[in-house]
Amino acid sequence: MVTKEAILVLEDGSVYHGYAFGAEDTTYGEVVFNTSMAGYQEMLTDPSYAGQILVPTYPLIG
């Protein structure tokens, strides 16, 4: 699996380095959190998250 380095820059100037998956492009959006313990497949395809950066918080997912 090829990993792509990513940078998350927040409005307050905080910078976080990590790895990305999905489309290779520069984007922006509101960061939203999902605390559910299951259904992460549905999270990633749910149209209500369009235009948002989704962060799953359950330790085994996110």
Q: pLDDT tens digit string along 2-13?
A: 788 999 999 999
The residue range of the domain holding 48 is 25-62
Three-class secondary structure of residue 13 per DSSP? coil
Residue 11 inside a domain? The answer is no
Three-class secondary structure of residue 43 per DSSP? helix
Residue 6 inside a domain? The answer is no
Residue 20 inside a domain? The answer is no
**Residues paired with residue 6 on neighbouring β-strands, in sequence order:** 18
> In terms of Cα–Cα distance, which of 61, 56, 55, 3 is closest to 29?
55
Element (H, E) at 34: strand 30-34
Number of domain units in the chain: 1
pLDDT tens-digit profile of 30-56? 999 998 888 888 988 999 999 998 888
Residue 19 inside a domain? The answer is no
Give residue 1's pLDDT.
64
Checking if the pLDDT of 22 tops 80, the result is: no
pLDDT tier for residue 59 given thresholds of 50, 70 and 90: confident
